[in-house]
Structure 1
Amino acid sequence: MQKLADLEGSCPFLDNGGPCPYGLSCRFSGTHHDGDVVPAVTTTAKKNNSELNGLNKDVQKLLWKNKMKFPKADNILKLLGLHGPGKKGKSMDNVKDGQILANGCVDVDGNGCRNVALEANNEVECSPKVLEEEDKPDEVQLEKGKDMGNEKDDQIVANGAGIVDGNGCCNLASEAKNEVECSYEALEDLKPDEESVADELRPLKRAKSSVSDVCSVEVDSDPSVHIKDEDKSCVQNEQTTVTEHTLPDTDKSLKLHLCEKKLIDFRDKLYLAPLTTVGNLPFRRVCKVLGADVTCGEMAMCTNLLQGQASEWALLRRHSSEDLFGVQICGAYPDTVARTVELIEKHCTVDFVDINMGCPIDIVVNKGAGSALLTKPMRMKSVIEASSRAVDTPVTIKVRTGYFEGKNRIDSLIEDFGNWGATAVTIHGRTRQQRYSKLADWEYIYTCARAAPHNLQVLGNGDVFSYLDWSNHKSNCPELSSCMIGRGALIKPWIFTEIKEKRHWDISSGERLEILKDYVRFGLEHWGSDTRGVETTRHFLLEWLSYTCRYIPVGLLDVIPQRINWRPPSYFGRDDLETLMASDSAADWIRISEMLLGKVPAGFTFSPKHKSNAYDRAENG
């Protein structure tokens, strides 16, 4: 393959004071001199010396093989009665009506026993399920003789186990060394008071994933992996583990009190929201230069992180200039989220972890995550408790006002968030059903902020597009710690400068072009200066330009400031470049990219991921 012609300008790695890791493949190789190229062995280390949170290959292999241990998370899940993804997400130790049989078997209908055994690789896949079915009684969902795909009493299931008769035992076979026989002895030993304890500790019902939500359980013959430094008075026999959950103080390795955590003070700090696709590391660097105080990575799915997907781990990357940085994760169940939080704390450098409970995207909601959690407050509780108590890193959450339009519900939960372990909550002033179709309800955000306990910081989010918006929200509600800025930063990232300097910046087209040049330089450092890196940088630049075209220069406005929901008509700028930047045509965005990154490849086309022509849509939570 013939190398494309060099681009104008100098190599971004040389400008940054270091050698170029791409050698002759660099699109700026003409500017290289002797000693400017590093050996291939040290390429990765040299290229990313200013970036943190890379995925270690050994860690990735453990995740691929499902051999990663999560002792802290598993301890907490056990103490909360949430350990193990048994039938319908219930704990293996707690089942309705206290019907726990010996050896981990579950009495389905009072006449028989069903043993949920793990496969050889200790994974259990959650089958698709409609969210609305979650609240149905167990008696309806676990009909006799129809559990786990069995339609007849004598039908043989796929893995070799079968139901003997209506009063028999259905055993899902595992490996020969792990075979478990069903026993009824535990029923005789289960006293009435233990039954009531089992009822009180009954775990939350669980919506099964509709995509690829894989719930894994670590099984270790050594109980010290899961039960650490427990009091000797605790009985470790599996038949009596029901009572163990009432002794949360026995695990001395767990941080159960909020005061023991390192807290982040968000008050009056300019917080750049986590933004899907466009909120990448180069864009966050641009915002840091322009005045952002707090940055947060793009939303990452917990299941993908636990599977060791490199593309998902890339969303956790942090630049050294991000002095107050958090990552945002999204998951549907407490075991998945708690293990992800522990994994991040152990292998990444972050200041806080944010759990997204407001993402409106269908593919996320259909998996039971994001905004779907707003309909399940008890599961919200279990997710927050399990994740916050498993780590020392502060855990924050991001929510919307509710799921259905006209049915806000965060005000009824705001007092509980702090007790559950969250150190801060960001409230996006729209419901999931509204998406971005109406202006954010800041009066409701104020109501929630005033009702919040003193140990919970409340941040507002929605339609902040000028320093006046910021100042008005802060003055209208002093209880509000800060405001998160999302789409406003996408359209004009210099909003952080405006807020700090308390002015409307009539920025020129030349100044805007310099900001784009900074983005391109940061992008080439992050994605590479070879042909692949150049085209990746171009792709994300075009995604960003599909937002920046909405900006109307202050000098052309009759009414100041511009509102985020305005749809400006076509207009001529004060120069040709300003007119070009105002175009909503993808062809003009490509022209701007060619000014910075050279000609596009033959046959190149671009369509924005977020459908920029619809002003009320954006794929971020």
Structure 2
Amino acid sequence: MATTAPPADPPDSSPTVTEHSSPPRPSPEELVARAVAPVKPAFLRPPPVRDAPKDDNKADGGTGGAVVAEKKSKRQLKRERKQEQKSSSHLCIEVGKSGNVNSCKYGDSCRFSHDIDAYLDQKPADLEGICPFTTLDQLCPYGLTCRFLSTHKDIHAASENHPEKPEINTLKKDIQKLLWKNKYKFPKASAQIKLLGLKEVIKSKPQPANDDQGVNQDNADKDGDDKTESLCNPPVNMECDSTLCEEMDKSEGEPLIDNSVPSVQPRPVKKSKVEIDEIDKHDNGIHYAKAESEDTTKLCKILGADITCGEMAMCTNLLQGQASEWALLRRHSSEDLFGVQICGAYPDTVARTVELVDSECSVDFIDINMGCPIDIVVNKGAGSSLLTKPMRIKSIVQAASTVTENPLTVKVRTAFFEGRNRADSIVSDIYDWGASALTIHGRSRQQRYSKLADWDYIYQCAQKAPEPLHVIGNGDVFSFTDWNKHVSSCSKISTCMIARGALIKPWIFTEIKEQRHWDITSAERLSILKDFASFGLEHWGSDSKGVETTRYFLLEWLSYTCRYIPVGLLDVIPQRLNWRPPSYCGRDDLETLMASDSAADWIRISEMLLGKVPEGFTFTPKHKSNAYDRAENG
């Protein structure tokens, strides 16, 4: 009987089991639910192997990406400044402009060097490109000190033909001296404070017996005795008298009552220069940008922004004539619809500032920031702390609105404490007090910039607004679909303010106007960065100091732009502002470099545009926008 052999097992037919199988990748929907950006798998980097701690000291000072500057005492910094002035690298400005050692009126007593040959011997090599003033067909005002010296047409004539800066709202010297001496007059503000029956918080210096001109008792306090900690740059000095009027103190936290403050005659209805009603809100008619610098503002205008607003300036600093604070009020010639934003704690302080700005500046509206969450501002009673003092809000708006012919707008958050919304309690009355528009940021002060903005609550507030009041929504607008959704979901929303979204991708305004998700290339993004650098050199100067100042602001901006994820790399579009990007590679080396969150890589990008950094250069970004205050609830 014949037998047959058992059939052989087919090769590799049994399933193989790996010892360490990797878990399946979450779906794009699951990643979005976790607030993780759903980057396509082809661009994801493998998880790092954690064998030994990486020595980052050589690259970035051992900070894991941020290059930290050495802390120096004030005395050491002052000594270094004096030594720098005496060195040949610090050429006298007048000599540098003209190229003539005899042009300085101080002669041998000048604190700076007049040795042109020694300066040129140690001067860094020229940067690539053309002097920004030459491209504007102007003579460069920086002369020999310009880092594009070889491209100048006529260096020696530069001092005779200064190019006019395309900026206005600069602080005049005579006005600054009046503010320093407390002699600037505020007749409208003083009359309105008296009419409202409010006490004056700002006290003036005592008048000397032999001063026949007198000191205006209504002017800003400039004692300088009480020093406060610095707020970024420049410092904030918000010294205020603790003896605020009793009726305001007693009403803190109470519901708004019309007769709690002496009433005034109804204000005449002003015709707002921000004619939002006349623009079809469904036709992308208006885009409101909150800018951080003149150069970012100019970029936003080029890329499609319609209305721009300056960075927040402190009232007390403006009233003291601080040039660094007045710089925040500057307006670029490209800003055809522009407002300034001020912040103050008391009605008389804000009213005086509004009258000052109205008299000395060219603006289309004045915005009062009652939403700033920064501790030093809140602790002095300004910013978002005003939401706990509704009667003071009323007094501030009433006092400020009657001293200006420009529209007065107000910006608030939803609340001070999370879960205790208060913005809806003022929206129905704030127009009668004098505001033309109300911007509502959909987060509480405690949330800072963490968690998503509460747009449902913004809609609720807008529904309570009277017909003439423009309600502007703010928070997490990062694409044209976000903008479309918010202006269409509530007919009372006039438009949206865009802040961080414009810092991360300033071309958001182009996307809104063209109704598309722009898959911008790395080369196009680099071109925008080049424009920023060019605008910075026009603004801060093309000499070494101007180059490094431009570099500093460029690096600060790159700390935001690195958060952008290109459209072509995403499984789900558009990108949301709260998504955390995984480690990924771009479609080319430049796109990968732009995605880095390392300050060392930001410096590399800056060197592409502004040349090598000076020896010993360090940089640490100052902004921490994703903060959450856990201490506020006790």
Is residue 559 of structure 2 the alignment partner of residue 546 of structure 1? yes
The answer to whether the Cα contact below 8 Å between 2:133 and 2:139 also exists between their aligned partners in 1 is: yes
Q: Paired residue for 2:191?
A: 75
The answer to whether the Cα contact below 8 Å between 1:331 and 1:370 also exists between their aligned partners in 2 is: yes
Amino acid at match of 1:284: T
Counterpart among 290, 298, 304 of residue 274 in structure 1: 290
Superposed CA offset, 1:78-97 (max 9, x none): 1111252289x9xxxxxxxx
- Assess, with a 3 A threshold, how the Cα gap between structure 1 residues 576 and 373 changes in structure 2: closer, same or farther: same
Is residue 220 of structure 2 the alignment partner of residue 204 of structure 1? no
Output the CA distance in 1 between the equivalents of 2:559 and 2:273: 37
The answer to whether the Cα contact below 8 Å between 1:73 and 1:386 also exists between their aligned partners in 2 is: yes
Structure 1 residue 36, shift from structure 2 partner: 7.7
Structure 1 residue 481, shift from structure 2 partner: 0.2
The answer to whether the Cα contact below 8 Å between 2:197 and 2:262 also exists between their aligned partners in 1 is: no
Output the CA distance in 1 between the equivalents of 2:498 and 2:169: 24
Q: Paired residue for 2:123?
A: 3
Superposed CA offset, 1:52-76 (max 9, x none): 1111000000011111001111111
- Assess, with a 3 A threshold, how the Cα gap between structure 1 residues 119 and 496 changes in structure 2: closer, same or farther: closer
- Assess, with a 3 A threshold, how the Cα gap between structure 1 residues 432 and 301 changes in structure 2: closer, same or farther: same
Residue 434 of structure 1 aligns to a residue whose secondary structure is: coil
Superposed CA offset, 1:518-576 (max 9, x none): 00011111111111111110000000000100111100100111111111111110000
> Comparing 307-316 with 264-273, which one deviates more in the overlay?
264-273
**Superposition pairs of residues 429-578 of structure 1, within 5 angstroms:** 429-578=442-591
Structure 1 residue 596, shift from structure 2 partner: 0.1
Output the CA distance in 1 between the equivalents of 2:430 and 2:302: 33
Is residue 200 of structure 2 the alignment partner of residue 84 of structure 1? yes
The answer to whether the Cα contact below 8 Å between 1:423 and 1:457 also exists between their aligned partners in 2 is: yes
Q: Paired residue for 1:579?
A: 592
Is residue 113 of structure 2 the alignment partner of residue 28 of structure 1? no
The answer to whether the Cα contact below 8 Å between 1:19 and 1:36 also exists between their aligned partners in 2 is: no
Residue 39 of structure 1 aligns to a residue whose secondary structure is: helix
- Assess, with a 3 A threshold, how the Cα gap between structure 1 residues 10 and 206 changes in structure 2: closer, same or farther: farther
Counterpart among 255, 258, 267 of residue 257 in structure 1: 267
Residue 269 of structure 2 aligns to a residue whose secondary structure is: helix
Counterpart among 367, 373, 380 of residue 380 in structure 2: 367
Amino acid at match of 1:358: G
The answer to whether the Cα contact below 8 Å between 2:201 and 2:349 also exists between their aligned partners in 1 is: no
Amino acid at match of 1:421: G
Output the CA distance in 1 between the equivalents of 2:383 and 2:218: 32
Counterpart among 594, 603, 622 of residue 609 in structure 1: 622
Q: Paired residue for 2:110?
A: none
- Assess, with a 3 A threshold, how the Cα gap between structure 1 residues 258 and 483 changes in structure 2: closer, same or farther: farther
- Assess, with a 3 A threshold, how the Cα gap between structure 1 residues 59 and 121 changes in structure 2: closer, same or farther: closer
Structure 1 residue 270, shift from structure 2 partner: 3.9
The answer to whether the Cα contact below 8 Å between 1:21 and 1:47 also exists between their aligned partners in 2 is: no
Structure 1 residue 203, shift from structure 2 partner: 4.7
Amino acid at match of 1:274: K
Superposed CA offset, 1:16-61 (max 9, x none): 2322111111111110022684216x64xx241x111111000000
Residue 288 of structure 1 aligns to a residue whose secondary structure is: helix
Output the CA distance in 1 between the equivalents of 2:191 and 2:352: 11
Output the CA distance in 1 between the equivalents of 2:263 and 2:250: 24
Amino acid at match of 2:587: R
Q: Paired residue for 1:595?
A: 608
Residue 583 of structure 2 aligns to a residue whose secondary structure is: coil
State the TM-score, normalized to the length of structure 1: 0.71
Structure 1 residue 4, shift from structure 2 partner: 2.0
The answer to whether the Cα contact below 8 Å between 1:565 and 1:615 also exists between their aligned partners in 2 is: no
The answer to whether the Cα contact below 8 Å between 2:371 and 2:412 also exists between their aligned partners in 1 is: yes
Output the CA distance in 2 between the equivalents of 1:264 and 1:270: 10
Superposed CA offset, 1:94-136 (max 9, x none): xxxxxxxxxxxxxxxxxxxxxxx999999487999xxxxxxxx
Output the CA distance in 1 between the equivalents of 2:140 and 2:406: 36
Output the CA distance in 2 between the equivalents of 1:119 and 1:55: 22
Output the CA distance in 2 between the equivalents of 1:324 and 1:442: 26
Structure 1 residue 263, shift from structure 2 partner: 4.0
Superposed CA offset, 1:454-494 (max 9, x none): 11100000001111111111111111000111111111110
Output the CA distance in 2 between the equivalents of 1:120 and 1:324: 31
- Assess, with a 3 A threshold, how the Cα gap between structure 1 residues 286 and 123 changes in structure 2: closer, same or farther: closer
Output the CA distance in 1 between the equivalents of 2:242 and 2:623: 40
Residue 532 of structure 1 aligns to a residue whose secondary structure is: helix
Aligned residues, how many?
470
The answer to whether the Cα contact below 8 Å between 2:182 and 2:222 also exists between their aligned partners in 1 is: no
State the TM-score, normalized to the length of structure 2: 0.70
> Which one has more relative contact order, counting CA pairs under 8 Å at least 6 apart?
2
- Assess, with a 3 A threshold, how the Cα gap between structure 1 residues 330 and 66 changes in structure 2: closer, same or farther: same
Output the CA distance in 2 between the equivalents of 1:346 and 1:286: 28
- Assess, with a 3 A threshold, how the Cα gap between structure 1 residues 421 and 118 changes in structure 2: closer, same or farther: closer
The answer to whether the Cα contact below 8 Å between 1:567 and 1:615 also exists between their aligned partners in 2 is: no
Output the CA distance in 2 between the equivalents of 1:121 and 1:265: 34
The answer to whether the Cα contact below 8 Å between 1:20 and 1:36 also exists between their aligned partners in 2 is: no
Superposed CA offset, 1:388-439 (max 9, x none): 1111111100000010000001112111110110000000000001111110
Amino acid at match of 2:597: D
Output the CA distance in 1 between the equivalents of 2:449 and 2:263: 45
Amino acid at match of 2:185: K
**Superposition pairs of residues 335-350 of structure 1, within 5 angstroms:** 335-350=348-363
Output the CA distance in 2 between the equivalents of 1:604 and 1:557: 36
Q: Which has the larger radius of gyration?
A: 2
Q: Paired residue for 1:55?
A: 171
**Superposition pairs of residues 145-156 of structure 1, within 5 angstroms:** none
- Assess, with a 3 A threshold, how the Cα gap between structure 1 residues 126 and 441 changes in structure 2: closer, same or farther: farther
Output the CA distance in 2 between the equivalents of 1:120 and 1:335: 9
Structure 1 residue 258, shift from structure 2 partner: 4.0
- Assess, with a 3 A threshold, how the Cα gap between structure 1 residues 348 and 396 changes in structure 2: closer, same or farther: same
The answer to whether the Cα contact below 8 Å between 2:341 and 2:367 also exists between their aligned partners in 1 is: yes
Residue 430 of structure 2 aligns to a residue whose secondary structure is: helix
The answer to whether the Cα contact below 8 Å between 1:263 and 1:423 also exists between their aligned partners in 2 is: no
Counterpart among 3, 6, 13 of residue 133 in structure 2: 13
Output the CA distance in 2 between the equivalents of 1:204 and 1:413: 16
Residue 429 of structure 2 aligns to a residue whose secondary structure is: helix
- The runs of 5 or more residues in structure 1 that have no matched partner are 90-116, 129-146, 150-200, 208-244, 250-255
Superposed CA offset, 1:333-354 (max 9, x none): 0111100011011111000000
Structure 1 residue 204, shift from structure 2 partner: 2.2
Superposed CA offset, 1:288-329 (max 9, x none): 000000111110000000000000000111111000000000
Output the CA distance in 1 between the equivalents of 2:274 and 2:607: 42
Give me the identity figure in percent. 66
The answer to whether the Cα contact below 8 Å between 2:139 and 2:154 also exists between their aligned partners in 1 is: no
Output the CA distance in 2 between the equivalents of 1:20 and 1:521: 14
- Assess, with a 3 A threshold, how the Cα gap between structure 1 residues 9 and 478 changes in structure 2: closer, same or farther: same
The answer to whether the Cα contact below 8 Å between 1:543 and 1:608 also exists between their aligned partners in 2 is: yes
The answer to whether the Cα contact below 8 Å between 2:565 and 2:595 also exists between their aligned partners in 1 is: yes
